[in-house]
Amino acid sequence: MASSDLICELCQREVQSLSRHHLVPREEGGRYGATAELCQPCHSTLHLTFSNRELALQYNTIPALQQAEPLQKYLKWVRNKRIQKISNKRGKRR
């Protein structure tokens, strides 16, 4: 697969690099479970938007993530962007 053929499974964009997302987070028992190849912006956004418990119980498939109400605005925004990396920080600020 050429580097120009990398497609994010969530936003469907062609990207320069992908990271492995455990559909059920490792901390919730998904260490050896199904994974998806995501671009960095999508991967970071998932972990900022949902807790590991929510990902494990409600959003453990690509279709479930693509239909998740909290992601609709983000997915609509990112689909036509050429962005490869975003620096959003994990963890909630108080």
List, in sequence order, every residue forming a beta bridge with 6; answer none if it has no partner: 15
Give domain limits for the chain.
3-78
- Using alpha carbons, select from 88, 82, 86 the residue that is nearest to residue 4: 82
Is 0.85 surpassed by the pTM of this model?
A: no
37-72 residue pLDDT tens: 999 999 999 999 999 999 999 999 999 999 999 999
- Using alpha carbons, select from 71, 20, 31, 28 the residue that is nearest to residue 53: 28
CA distances from 21 to 12, 28, 77, 93, 94 (A): 15, 13, 21, 24, 27
CA-to-CA distance for 42 and 40, rounded, in angstroms? 5
CATH fold, domain 3-78, is DNA Binding (I), subunit A (1.10.30)
